[in-house]
Amino acid sequence: MPFFKTTSPEVLRARYNSLLEDVPVALFTAISAISIQMVVLHAQVHWSLSIATPLIRILVGCCLLFYWFSHRDEQPSIENIRKRLEIASIVFIVAGFFTFWRSVYLFPLTDTFGHYFLIFFNALYGFCFAFMLSKLGPAAYAFNLMMISSAIACIYRGDFEHAHLMTLLILVFEVGMLITMRGSTTMFDKWVNANHASQALSKDNQRLANQDVLTHLPNRRQFFVQVDQQLMLAKQTDACFAVGILDLDNFKPVNDVHGHHIGDVVLIEVGKRLAQVRPNQVCFYRLGGDEFAFHLLTDADHGLLKQVAHDINQAISQPISVDGLLIKVKASMGACIACDDLVTAQQLYEHADFALYHVKRTGRGNLEIYSDTLEQARMQLNHIDQALRTADIEAELYPVFQPIIDLKTGEVSAFESLARWQSPTIGAVSPAMFIPVAESLGMIADITKLLFRSSMAEMAHWPATIRLSFNLSAYDVINQGVIHALIEMMLSSQLAPDRFVFEITETALLQDFETARENISLLRRAGAKVALDDFGTGYSSLSHVQSLPLDKLKIDRSFVKDIETNTTSQTIVRSILTLCQGMHMECVAEGAETESQVAFLRAMGCQLVQGYYFAKPMPKERIQPYLAEANNHLTMQA
């Protein structure tokens, strides 16, 4: 039947399921009607036609009923449904043809009552069974046509008064029944299609609610659902359960330099690669942005977790080819392991997140597992957070100053302003600890302006040849409001703008490169200088030097601490000095603590040096005595 080849699978299955309920009723009705026909006709026609033939039909009906009963709970495939519906249609049409032939054949052999009975029998057969089995489509209409034709043929073969009126009456009911059949079938199909579309939409919404649209990995919502469930199972089996969070290193420059389209392609590829890392042991999720998560059952000594972390970085660190570009990324990972019943899913996530925060601050591209040491650091940060929220920053925060020495003249070239916080509740707090907390609390702008104002007030007492080197946080560099405020304070201070040097780090540039470059240009147009701090430790130092309007580079202390013995550090420092000379920039070496380090730097041609060898950071009260002492020293040398 071509009809069943074109009908959608959903409609076919729905029709099949509906017929499963209608077929037994139709078979029981047919068997009953045939039995009544046997009673009516047994005295008028030969037993072979009135008894034997109907019994065969009843037997066939009983077999069909038994077949239906034994297969009623099956869930056949669409192809099997098509075959069964086609067979049912053929059986239906054959039954109609046989009934048509039998009625026409028996009509002359019966009396007047038999005539009326056959007409009535065929008309009801045509109406009732066609309607009951209308889900068979064309077969139902064919059966109806044969039965109604048989009834009308019997009317005109008999000697009936008003045969036309009898035919007209049957046709009126026939038209009404056909319209109703058509409408019922159409509405049924529409309802099935609408229900299927609704279910598909519901499934799609469910998928979207639990799956990341870009990478097709499960999303943040599904992550927490699964962690809850898997943690509960792990507790029941006494297994160790690990949650990990990974963040792509130096991914933001990919978006800033190449655009978000390239960034999206990179994320999609990263998602594919993660999905292939031990799929039977590890489940991966995208939490948002360039942050992903995973969980697994592991051992107490972290062996499997460390191996998984290694596999992740092996997979991710392979170059990604996008539109002719080769892009490389790595991942920093934080993880937390639970081997007891005391930890919750939320705590696992928070501890893993803190481990990630710690590894990104101390050494990217590695795995950090939450430990007692990190727990103490987290508690310390919590104390800092609480203390900073209630701090009187005007009274508790202040700058200290460390000199930058010109080796050629021996004079102080500048003082770097460094933030300090003396809390009445938790004591002295390192800026490395409280600056990130201040950024997260949205307090850094006020702190920056306060420290800059205090530093300028002290700067006013210095000789005009000494500069102020002032550090800007990552938030400050990309906050135009802060930059404008600093420029306004600088210009209204009556101090020469070229005496101000603003230090930025490459980490700050990664936040928003274009905005950072624009703000750096604002500072330089106002007359100030800009230095790139911790040079050599970032991810794209040379590109930053090339594309940013910089005046100075500061060599990171990690290259100075072993410069006497480490030939690699010597080569790097020498290269940076050569770079600065070629680009007509000043260069400052940080972290000089011994006479031999200073001697090495002087021999290499480094003019500006900063470190404990000359002086530790000092309060403002110590600056004038220090300058006086330095001047006396120079006078004695002269």
**282 compared with 252, residue with greater pLDDT:** 282
pLDDT at 208 over 80: no
**Per-residue pLDDT at 157:** 84
- Exposure letters 619-632 (e unless 16+ CB within 10 A, then b): ebeebeebbeebee
pLDDT tens digits along 492-528: 999 999 999 999 987 777 777 788 889 999 999 999 9
User: What is the mean predicted confidence (pLDDT) over 432-436?
Assistant: 89
- Write out pLDDT tens, residues 378-388: 898 889 999 99
Determine contact, residues 438/493, Cβ cutoff 8 Å. no
Residue 187 is predicted with a pLDDT of 87
Tokens 């052999």 belong to residue: 109
CA-based nearest residue to 467, from 509, 414, 398, 506: 414
Sorted by where each starts, the structural domains of the chain and their CATH numbers stand as 9-202 (no CATH), 220-370 (3.30.70.270), 391-636 (3.20.20.450)
Find where tokens 């070629």 sit. 582
Q: Report pLDDT digits (tens) over 276-285.
A: 999 889 999 9
Counting residues of the chain whose pLDDT is more than 70, the rounded percentage is: 96
Q: Are 468 and 529 in contact (CB under 8 A)?
A: no
CA distances from 81 to 72, 77, 129, 411 (A): 13, 6, 21, 95
Closest CA to 345 of 308, 386, 299, 293: 293
Residue 313 predicted with pLDDT over 80: yes
**Beta-strand pair 500-505/467-471:** parallel
Rg of the Cα trace of the chain?
A: 44
pLDDT band at 6 (very low <50, low <70, confident <90, very high): low
Count other Cβ atoms within 10 Å, centred on residue 418.
17
Contact of 8 with 15, CB cutoff 8 Å: no
